Amino acid sequence: MRLKAKEIEQAVRGKLSSNVSFDTVITHVEFDTRKVSEGTLFVPLKGNRDGHDFISNAFEEGATLTLSDRDLEGDFPYILVEDTQKALQDLAKYYLIQVNPKVAAITGSNGKTTTKDMTAAVLGSFYQTYKTQGNYNNEIGLPYTILNMPKETEALVLEMGMDRKGDIELLSSIGRPNVAAITMIGESHIEYLGSRQGIAEAKMEIVSGLKEKGTLIVPSEEELITPLLANVTQKVLRFGLNDSADVSAKILEEGREKTTFTTPLYPDVIFSIPVLGQYNVGNALIAILIGTELGVPVEKIQKGLANFDLTKNRTEWLETAKGMSLLSDVYNANPTAMTLVLDSFSKIETTGRKLVVLGDMLELGEGSRGMHESVSAHLSPEIIDEVYLYGQEMSYLYEVLKETYATDKCHWFSKEDKKALMDSLGEKVTPTDTVFLKGSNGMGLKEIVDYLLNNH
C-alpha cells in the first residue's frame, strides 16, 4: 500500500489535523498496537476497550497517523471522522478500487474457509492472488483483509461470515465481488435468525454488492434458495452432486486424504483434492466454477486444487507420537456439517477402532435438543466403536445413543468435566485407533486434540 494522507482524508470523508502534511505516506493500516510500525495508519476501534485509549501507545510504536472520532490533545497527527469503524470500511472500498483485482466472495453455513482456500489456490495458479487470512471475515476483518492485500494483487478471495441479518449485505457492499458463492445453508446462528429460511435469506444478501455482470454460485440441492433467485439479475450457476445441477460431479475415489472426481464441465479431466469427503467435492466445484468464470485455464484449475493448503483446524488429519490418527475439525459445528463429516469418517478404512469425540453445537436456539438428537442417525455401533460426548447439549444425544450403544461404549461428560473426559479417553485409546473430534469452537476441543497429540 502507498496512500497519501490527503487521499485517505477524502476516502473516509474526514478532516486532517493541522500538523499533517497532505503528502504524508501511509504504507499499512492497523487496529492492533502490537502490529504498528513506521508508516502505519492506526485505527482505534471500540470493543471491550476504546481503541482511542491506545493512540499514544500506537505512536510510541512508530505510527505515522491515526483516525479519531474526537479532537485529540497533544501533537498527535490525525484525521477526524464521525465513526472510525465506518472510516476503516470506506478506506477499504477506496483501496479496492485503486488495486482493482478480480474479487471472489464466499459465504455459507459451512465450508467457507475450505472453499476460500481451494479458490485461492485455483486463482493463484494464474493470477497474483490474496485471500482472507484466518477468520478475518467480519465487518472489521474483511476491510482489514482488503487493506492488507499487496498493490500487485490481481485476484482477491474474500470470506464473508455473519451472525445476524444485514451482516453479509454490508460485507458485499464493501467487497463488490465479480463472483459470489454460497456453499450451503446449515443451522449456524439459527438462534439469531430464527430458521433455516432466515439463514438462507441472510446468505443471499451477498447479491447486494455483486457486480451487474457478475455471477452467483449456489447449491442446487438447497430448496430454500430457489425462490430467492427470482429477482437476481446476475448470472446464476448451480453446483451439486445431483442431476439438477448446472455443474455436477462424479466421485471416482474417496480416501482418507484424497478424493478424485470428474465433472461434465471438463469431461476429460480428472480432478483431485487432498482432503476427505464428498462434501468437499461440492466446495471444489465452487472453486472450479469461480476459476472458470474468471478465466483460469482448466489445467491450472486442476493443479491448484491438487495442491491447495487448508487453513488449520478445518478437518485436518494429525498423527500422534505413537502413531494414532486424529481427524480434527474443532473450529465450528452445526448439525449439517457434523453429520456430513461423520458420514465420510464412517466410510474410510482403518486398521483399528473408530472413536468420535463430539462437543456441543452452539447457537442453535430452541431447536437445539432435536438437532443434537438427530446426529444419532449417523452413529452406528457396527461402524463407530466408541462415542465420547461433551457438553450439556450433547446429553440429549447421549440419551438417544444409550438405546443402541453398550454402556461402556458411549460416554457423556459435562462441560466442567473436560479433564475427566481426557483421562477416560486416554485410558482407552491405542496407537491403532482413529479418532474424530468435532464441536463448536466455544467448547475448546482443541485442548483435547493437543492432549492426545502430546500424550499418545
Domain ranges of the chain: 3-82, 100-306, 316-455
Residue 307, C-beta contacts closer than 8 angstroms, at least 6 positions apart: 121, 274
- Element containing residue 193 per DSSP (H, E): helix 190-193
Length of the chain equals: 456
- Burial class of 304 by CB neighbour count within 10 A (0 to 12, 13 to 18, 19+): buried
- pLDDT of the residue at 192: 83
pLDDT tens-digit map of 297-340? 999 999 999 999 887 767 889 999 899 999 999 988 889 889 99
Query: Which mean pLDDT values do the consecutive 10-residue runs of the chain (456 residues) have?
Result: 96 96 96 96 95 96 97 94 98 98 96 95 98 94 98 98 95 98 89 89 97 97 94 97 90 91 97 92 97 98 94 82 92 89 92 96 92 97 97 98 96 96 94 95 95 91
- pLDDT of the residue at 354: 97
Same fold, 100-306 and 316-455: no
| Cα distances (angstroms) measured from residue 62 to each of 59, 66, 175, 356 | 5, 11, 30, 49
d(CA 324, CA 435): 8
- pLDDT of the residue at 93: 98
How remote is the C-alpha of 88 from its chain's centroid? Answer: 22
Into which CATH architecture does domain 100-306 fall? 3-Layer(aba) Sandwich (3.40)
- Phi/psi of residue 239, nearest 5 degrees: -115, 155
Residue with C-alpha cell 466454477?
Answer: 289
Q: Residue 240 has which C-alpha cell?
A: 451439486
- 316-455 maps to which CATH number? 3.90.190.20
pLDDT tens-digit map of 236-271? 999 999 888 999 999 999 888 899 999 999 999 999
What percent of the chain clears pLDDT 90, i.e. is strictly above it? 87
- pLDDT of the residue at 243: 80
CB atoms within 10 A of CB 34: 9
Q: Name the fold adopted by 3-82.
A: 3.40.1390
Residue list, annotated binding site: 108-114
The number of C-alpha atoms within 13 Å of 101 and in the hemisphere containing its C-beta is 28
- pLDDT of the residue at 8: 98
- pLDDT of the residue at 100: 98
Residue list, annotated binding site for ATP: 108-114
- pLDDT of the residue at 313: 62
